[in-house]
Amino acid sequence: MKLNVNSEIAYTHLITRKKQTIIAALGVTVGIGIFIFMISLVVGFNRYSDEALFKAEPHIRIYQDDTLSRPLIKQIKPNYTTVIINPKIANLSNTLINPEKIIADLKKQDDIVTVTPQVSVNIFYNNGISQINGEASGVNILEANDMFNIESTMLAGDVRNLLSTSNGILIGVGIAEKLNIQLYDNINITSSIGVVKMMKVEGIFKTANSNIDLTKSYINLAMSQQLMKKSSSYLTDILVNIEDPNEAPKFSKKLQSSTIYKVEDWQAANEQSMSNKKTRQVMFGSISLAILLVAAFGIYNIINMTIKEKLNDIAILKATGFSGKDVINIFLKESLIMGIIGTSFGLLMAAGLIKFVSGIYIGGDREYFPIGYESPIFFIGAILGVLITLGAGYIPAIGAAKIDPIEIFRK
Amino acid sequence: MEKKIILQTKKIGKYFYQPVKFKALDDVSFKVFESEFITLIGKSGSGKSTLLYILSTMDTDYEGELFIGNEKITGQKPNYLAAIRNKNIGFVFQFHYLLPEFSCLKNVMIPALKLGKYSHQEIEEQAYQKLELLGIRDQALKPASKLSGGQQQRVAIARALINQPKIIMCDEPTGNLDSKNTGIVLETFQQLSSEFGQTIIAVTHDNDFAKASNRIIELADGKLINNT
């Protein structure tokens, strides 16, 4: 084995001080391990909560927003004509006009995964004297299933039965319990404009949100139009799923410019959960960065101590022709080696922690802790670990390079 | 026959500013010829070590000019000076200053590995030769810290020789040795200078050591008072 002389010196320093080397590397191991673990935790949890969200919501929703009446004449100049108006919601109907064209246009776009129409109807579920108000979504059940993965939430029945049963309904488990309704029982529903229908329960579902389970149901599109006494061209929403949900705001902006209807992405519709997500990211991010920083100080300390103890050696090296650059090179190599050892074990530690935590049973619809091996995070962790240790070694190394050998020899 | 000049100083002056401004060296000019064994003597505080550090290129904060060979050293960049030291100057210090984690052999090899002129194997061979020359070949693979003071000093001399430097500079090379080891080191220097034509400049307190050299340069209060 032939090393260059700087590497050889760095290597010898490290192995003759095994204990300190191991302690410094261990600091990095813990730092990187915890860093990757925590970030994976956040990413896993965010993915889980997004998934839960997307079982009830599309990435993008297009609907007719309420518009306010405008004054008949404009205020021409300030202080000239005073126009007093009493703005009222001026929608004649909340239907989308020519929705087939919008759907067809959307389907032509590249990043679109699913486009499906929907009619939202406010209804009452009745069984005897008990009554619950809620919202029925009139959908094309196969497309809706593609979008929300309703199938995965089904406790009983089958989503496909809606295809063969025009008055079929899928209800949330909360409604079923409260009204004491079983699969294939009949349920009476009343729409907001007073149309009453007898429906047959073809499925019961349970989402992560008990509030949704207590209000939501799926019915056929035609049935919902009948409940509103409207024709088959009546549609209240167009729901869109795209490839990458994170691109939704960009996409909705693009869509908004080509339609008069309101285009809303899921981020805008869920500001609360978005801000929770951001808080989580900032919180965990800063904690794990702090841990990394502590690890970096460990490296800094060890290198600094090595340099303090090796003043004579550094003076000798400089006297025999090693330049300041060589001295920096030696100590950078030492911290790099410690960093690489520490980081590799840190990756192993993170993998171990993730494996352990992902086995913890938490119940709910997810059952196990929502965490997984996120290769980009491991990659970032590895890069960060090496960079930070290099930085931590560089500062004392510069100091070492500036040591004046004469001062050492004079003592 | 005119001898070749190895090192030359022209009107070297040096100030210390701590604790008060003080002229440590004043107008020091002399020449050193090839294969000379020169000792720098003077009382404590006469400036002899200060002068040696300037000659060694490690101290760059001085007035006047320094030449090694025909090359002007004054005003060169630190990295270039490091390369010059590596190639042209070997050091021997009062305290042996070996790298304690390395074997004697490695200690001798390190300046040559830095120079990078020969292969690892050639350097190892040369290092063994130098250790042989100094009679400590059998200690080659021991850690430097396990050797006696006299042996360590000989390893340091071997290290100074490894790159076949133009000059060997010594700061009190026998200051920390008993009389027996002092004798050995002195003999070694004489042998190096007479048999191998090695130029040596040594700072010393020891009058016997000085008398054994070819030429004595004496300093007092920073001035050159004797050059015989």
Task: For residue A113, give the 3-state DSSP assignment.
Answer: strand
**pLDDT winner (highest mean) among A12-21, A331-340, B179-188:** A331-340
B83 with A320: Cβ contact below 8 A: no
Residue B171 pairs in a beta bridge with: B203
Closest CA in chain B for residue A403: B58
Asked if A159 and A168 touch (Cβ cutoff 8 Å), the reply is no
A324 with B85: Cβ contact below 8 A: no
* Stated pTM of the model: 0.73
3-state secondary structure B27-91: EEEEEEECCCEEEEEECCCCCHHHHHHHHCCCCCCCEEEEEECCEECCCCCHHHHHHHHHHHEEE
Q: Please state the ipTM of this predicted complex.
A: 0.83
| Residue B82 CB-half CA count within 13 A | 21
B171 with A409: Cβ contact below 8 A: yes
Q: Is the pLDDT of residue A249 over 80?
A: yes
Q: Return residues 72-111 of B near A (CB < 8 Å).
A: 78-79, 82-87, 91, 93, 97-102, 106, 110-111
**pLDDT winner (highest mean) among A324-333, A398-407, B131-140:** A324-333
A318 with B82: Cβ contact below 8 A: yes
pLDDT, one tens digit per residue, over A106-162 is 888 888 888 899 998 999 998 888 889 999 999 999 988 888 888 888 888 888 888
Closest CA in chain B for residue A318: B82
pLDDT at B96: 60
pLDDT, one tens digit per residue, over B113-159 is 887 778 888 888 888 888 887 777 787 788 877 877 778 888 888 88
Q: Is the pLDDT of residue B1 over 50?
A: no
Task: For residue B226, give the 3-state DSSP assignment.
Answer: strand
Q: Is the pLDDT of residue A365 over 80?
A: no
From A198, A216, A199, A218, select the one nearest A132 (Cα to Cα).
A216
A321 with B87: Cβ contact below 8 A: yes
pLDDT, one tens digit per residue, over A253-286 is 888 888 888 888 888 888 888 888 889 889 888 9
Residue type, A44: G
Q: Return residues 108-167 of B near A (CB < 8 Å).
A: 110-111, 113-116, 120, 159
pLDDT, one tens digit per residue, over A65-112 is 877 777 777 766 777 767 777 878 776 677 888 888 888 888 888 888
Quickly tell me which residue has 């409940």 as its tokens. A227
Question: Rounded to the nearest 5°, which phi and psi values hold at A250?
Answer: -60, -45
Residue type, A380: I
Q: How confident is the model at residue A3 (pLDDT cuts 50, 70, 90)?
A: low
A-B contacts (CB, under 8 Å): 67
A333 touching B (Cβ < 8 Å): no
Quickly tell me which residue has 């550090």 as its tokens. B53
A315 touching B (Cβ < 8 Å): yes
Q: How confident is the model at residue A8 (pLDDT cuts 50, 70, 90)?
A: confident
Asked if A11 and A340 touch (Cβ cutoff 8 Å), the reply is no
Please report the DSSP string for A163-216 in residue order.
Answer: HH-TTEEEEEHHHHHHHT--TT-EEEEEETTS-EEEEEEEEEE--S-HHHHTTE
